Amino acid sequence: MTDYAQAMADCLGIEGALGAALVDQSSGMTLATAGNPPAVDLHVAAAGNSSVVQAKLRTIEALGLDDEIEDILITLGRQYHIIRPVSSREGQGLFLYLVLDRARANLALARFRLTKIEQDFRI
């Protein structure tokens, strides 16, 4: 079991990690942050990414898909941004947000590690 602080520390331990946040998807408020990615305000990004998650959930519903979001990847010129909803019942409505330096990160390994952090996370 991992708490907020440990989850954030574990996220920053991922190769190429610049910053991380635990976010309430309905309000966009951050519950915890770590790191200081250049030119990215984690609180502003968290709020914006909550809109991304909400839009994707509405699309899944509109399509009638019986499925859920595993993660959302946003690829920028110099960074990867990964949004990973927390799947546990007590974590419902929260997501992990990870900012990676694209030049230093191994995307497959980062997604694998973030999945493990999310699965171990408990409130």
Phi, psi for 108 (deg, rounded to 5):
-60, -45
Q: What is the pTM of this model?
A: 0.94
Between CA 54 and CA 65 the distance in angstroms is 15
Average pLDDT over residues 85-100: 90
Strands (DSSP E) found in 3-114: 17-24, 30-35, 72-75, 79-85, 94-101
Residues 41-75 as b/e (b if ≥16 CB within 10 A, e otherwise) read ebeebbbebbebbeeeeeeeeeeeeeeebeebeee
pLDDT tens per residue, range 12-65: 999 999 999 999 999 999 999 999 998 899 999 999 999 999 999 999 999 999
Give the right CATH number for 4-120 from 3.30.420.40, 3.90.550.10, 3.30.450.30, 3.50.50.60.
3.30.450.30
Please choose, from the candidates 27, 39, 29, 56, the residue with its C-alpha nearest in 3D space to the C-alpha of residue 99: 39
Residue type at 16?
G
Average pLDDT over residues 86-114: 93
